[in-house]
Each structure stands twice: as C-alpha cells, then as structure tokens.
Structure 1
Amino acid sequence: MLRAFEAAGRLGSVTRAAQELNVTQSAVSHQIKELEAWLGVALVTREGRRLALTAQGTAYLPSLSSALDLMAQATARVERQTHRARLTVNALPTLAAQWLIPQLSRFCEQVPDVDVQLVTTAGVLDFDPAAYEVSVRCLSAAELAALQARPGWQGVQFGRFLPDAVTPVCSPAWLARADALKKPADLRRHTLLHSRSTPRLWRQWFGAAGAAAVRPAGELVFDHAHLAVQAAVQGLGIALGSPALVADALRGGLLVAPFAHLLLHEKDFYWMLPARSADDASARAFCDWLQASGAAP
C-alpha cells in the first residue's frame, strides 16, 4: 500500500507507478484505495488520466518518501555487510603501530567494501605466508633470498615498498638537556632505549656511523621497537627509529633526530602475496596501496 501510493504520488501517474513497481495498474489503484480506507482520508483524485494529490495526500507524501528512502538505505547497508570481502593482513607489531594503522583509513576510503583484519606477529622468517591473504615483513637482501629459496614459498610474490633505515630519535625536551648531542660519542651521557626484538641494533648503528659503541649512562629495554620509540616520545631517553615510520612524529615535533644524516639501512619492508591470493582483487588492491603509499622507489 505505502509503496503504491508513494510511487503514484511521486510520478503523478498510476501507469508509471505500475511500471516502476512491476505490477498492474489495477493493483496500484487497489492498494491506494486500501490505504485510503485504512487512514480514513482521501489521498488522491483523478483529473482525466492524471493523478492528483489531495491536501492530505500532499502533506503525507514527503514524509512517506523519506521514510521509504531510509528503509531502502538501511537495507542496502545490511546487504553490503553480508557481502563484504574480508582481508587478513599479517604485519610486524612495529610497522602496524607506527605506520600501517595511521595510514589504514586511506585504504578503507579507497576500497570501502573490504574489511581488513590485521594480525601482528613478531617472527620474521618463521611463518607460513599462505596463512594470510597478505603479509608484510622487514627483510635484508639475504633474508629475502633465503625465504624465496624455501620449499613452499614458490609462487609467493614480493614487493619492496618502504625503507627501514634507523637513526637516533628523542623528544625535543630531551635534546634540550645540558648534555648536548653533537657526535655519536656524546650518547654515553644519555639513556639508550632498546628493543628485545633487535638487541644488536644500537651496536650496528654505531658501526654504520663509524663510531665505537659506548656504555650509556642508563638503558631501558622494551619488547618491541615501537615501544622504545614511544618511550622516547615520553622523554625517557633516546631510541633508534625509522624516519619513514615516525615521519608524523618528526613533523609534529614529538620527536627530533639529532643525527638524521647517520642512518643504518640494512633492511626494507616488503609485502608478500601468496599464490592463493594471486587472483584476489582485495589482496591485490592492498598491495597496490602499500606500494603507492610507501617511500621505496
């Protein structure tokens, strides 16, 4: 009844309403009469072959049209939710916390019909790429070659999308301390923040900077690199951070890089697409988005 009257009133014709609703003209006329009987008012009059609304019909139609539109929109949302694609992405905790989550809304805007399930694991080499539609890992050239040579990794596609160079970072307040940072050796007077997942990273950075490793004034150790960087933001000391991952914090003044020109760059971030996802449009779209969003040439 409601749809018949709304269509006829909006279109001004029983014939056109019947065509839109895919029913007969007599069915539309009958449903309008039933609605009028139920409401106890006349909603339409006929002027020749054209349908005209009464005062009550004119007042009723806009609200009814809006209500039916809202119902249609709600139904469409439910239908989309039941047919949405789900994409499981596996990433390292530090990349997820510092780069992927802050960027993820852009992918969701570009591909709104895909629900991303983000799973974080710390293992670099000991995982099954086929367990996820897309995986993201930080690899050296040697680690990449080792993975590609493994049984079961045939058909896995790789794409480098972001460099993982690291340099010391700290809060502006820490840098303003009396113990100035002018050369790597000055770090001996400061607290260094470490990650258990990369226990030799500070020693490697000193080597890349052409300086001898120092015994710092203090040390704090965290499970993951992103926790060490967050501790640096809070003024607890100096961490090693990737400029690509902490770019927002550097631009926003939460962090500064006293030796920005001294970088340790031994690894890069790669997306991995297993053979089972080769024809998955959602997985392909995610890898394309990573490639476009990353800083790797």
Structure 2
Amino acid sequence: MESYALLIAATLNAGTVLALAALGLLINEKAGIVNLGAEGMMLCAAIAGFATVVHTGNTWLGFAAGMAVGALLAGAFGLLVIWLHTNQYATGLALSLFGSGFSAFVGIGYVQAKLPELPRYAIPVLGDVPLLGPALFRQHPLVYLTMLLTAALAWFLYRARAGLVLRAVGESPAAAHALGYPVRRIRLAAVLAGGALCGLAGAYLSTVYTPLWVEGMVAGRGWIALALTTFATWRPARVLLGAYLFGGVTMLQFHLQATGVELPSQWLSMLPYVATIVVLALISRNPVWIRVNMPASLGKPFHPG
C-alpha cells in the first residue's frame, strides 16, 4: 500500500508541471491565440529558475525568474503575432526551437551544479495520517496553489466580467472591437499571463520536480500541455484532471519497474506520448464536439478596421 501512496504523491507532483503549462496555454487560446512555443519557454524558464536558485538558494526567487523569462518570451511572441500579424503556428514553432537552443547554450555551465536541499513539506496533522498523509499532504506548496489557481481561473473565465470579455475576444474579436474593447491589448495580456505560467512550470520542473539542469529536460511536456487543452475542451477543471492523468501515466513506468515488471524501459518511457496520441485520436473522431467548445477565432489574426 505504501508504494501506491508514493505513486499518488508522484502523480500529483508530475501533474503540477503539466497543469501549470496547460492552464497558461488555455488562457492564450481563450483569447484566440495558439502558442506552440511552450516547450521553448519552459526550457528557458527552467534554466533561469535553476540558475537563480543556484546563486540565491531561494526556490521562490527561482519561480519568479522563470515566470519573468516565460512572460518575456511570450511578450515577444505576442508582439509578432498580434501587431505584426505573423503566422501564429510558425512563430510558435520558431520560439520553441529558439528556446531549445538558447537554453542549451546558457545552461552549459550549470550541468554539474547542485541546488540546496529542499525542505520537507507537510500539512500539520494531515501529513501524519497513514497512507493518505504521504500520498496527499506532503507536497510542495505550489502543488496546492495550482489546484487553487485552477478554481480561480474557472471562476474568472465564467463569472468575472474581465474573464467574459477575454472569452468574447476569443470568440469574436471583431464584435469585441466594435463594442470598444482593446482586443490587441487584451490578447497580449493573455499571452503574457500564459507565458508566465509556462515559465513557472519550467522553473518548478528544474528546481523542485527534478532539481537539476540537463539539456532538453522538459522532454516534450510542453507539447503534452498543448494537447491537454484540446483534451480538456478548454475547461480549467478538466485540464487539471487531465494533467494528473498524464502525470500518473508518466509515473507508472517507474512504479512498474520497481515492482519488477519485465518490460523494456524504452516501452515504458513511451507511455505518456502514446497516451497523448491515443487521446487526441479519440477526440478527433468527433469534430463537432471540438468545434462547439473551441474558441471560434482560435489561431486567426485580427486586423482592426
């Protein structure tokens, strides 16, 4: 039973990385912007967060550095696609490639660096409950903050006036512009917020989840986060559940290896990506369902008259 408690704990930890990035991309897409650069932003934020913690010893400063770098790269992306009307898909891919190369170059001197040991976190009393304590109540605070963020984002998008305006921009930017809303500035704000969350995911990955720096350590999580937004039909609560599902699949490979399952490690490593492909294939069988839930202007440029 203890091994299952550890599996649940690891699932929440792994799912947090995916959830943060996917929630950031969800904000982008609710405003009508597709950003394929999540992988590159997360990598640059990962090295920024790691380097900051190496020099300061403060994990939260590392998170702030990651968010700043993610927002900076997202801002450059936003200026290109919103004001200069470059192709969103090509620009996002360019950002992803740039982030992969730039992070590898900057991170050369940090490959052997070590971070200070992380404190052990536990919610008082609940952390000592047998089985449930190790599974649910001994996580890093950011795990619980991600859950709160999901609830806050759901409220913002469906209850707050600003969130309704954001969704209106994603559905019909021309109508929102006719009503006097600054569509381009709203889209840029969404892109910056999304980039900051992707940056936070990258910094969490390199400073808490696997406290080290290795070139390419994001390892496709940015692409999985992008797929999660479609899997969740652009709803925050489903994004969180999907992130834990994919996080569980990722951790399952280590659990199976620990229990002595005789399978090649390469097959087990493929599980998260195979699951992503299977889920997207199943969803794509019902294009009407996607079209009903997808923001109507997603990926389409807006030219104010």
TM-score (normalizing by structure 1): 0.22
Greater fraction of residues in helix? 2
TM-score (normalizing by structure 2): 0.21
Greater fraction of residues in strand? 1
Max Rg structure: 1
Q: Larger relative contact order (C-alpha < 8 A, sep ≥ 6)?
A: 2
